[in-house]
Amino acid sequence: MAKKKLTKGLWTKEDLKVLKSMFSNNPTADVAAKLDRPTEAVKKKASRMGLRKTKKYMKTLGRS
């Protein structure tokens, strides 16, 4: 399936589903690459949606 480029800033239901399922346990850069969006855009959208990294994931980065 060819991926058509959307108007800047529009998030499809599918994009939001991927963001919700991946964000908490994956590097933001990986999520951004999967969604073909800039990392900053993914960070902002996740923040607006109230998504957070899990404590377990943050520990793997050496943060608590």
Q: Is residue 51 part of a domain?
A: yes
The 10s digit of each residue's pLDDT in 6-47 is 556 799 999 999 999 999 999 999 999 999 999 999 999 999
State how far the Cα of 19 lies from the Cα of 34, in Å rounded to an integer.
9
Q: Is residue 46 part of a domain?
A: yes
Q: Is residue 53 part of a domain?
A: yes
pLDDT over 70 (residue 52) = yes
Predicted local confidence at residue 16, as pLDDT = 98
Q: Is residue 1 part of a domain?
A: no
State how far the Cα of 62 lies from the Cα of 36, in Å rounded to an integer.
27
Q: Is residue 4 part of a domain?
A: no
Q: Is residue 3 part of a domain?
A: no
Query: To which residue do tokens 């902002």 refer?
Result: 44
Domain span at residue 19 reads 13-60
Predicted local confidence at residue 6, as pLDDT = 52
Q: How many domains is the chain partitioned into structurally? A: 1
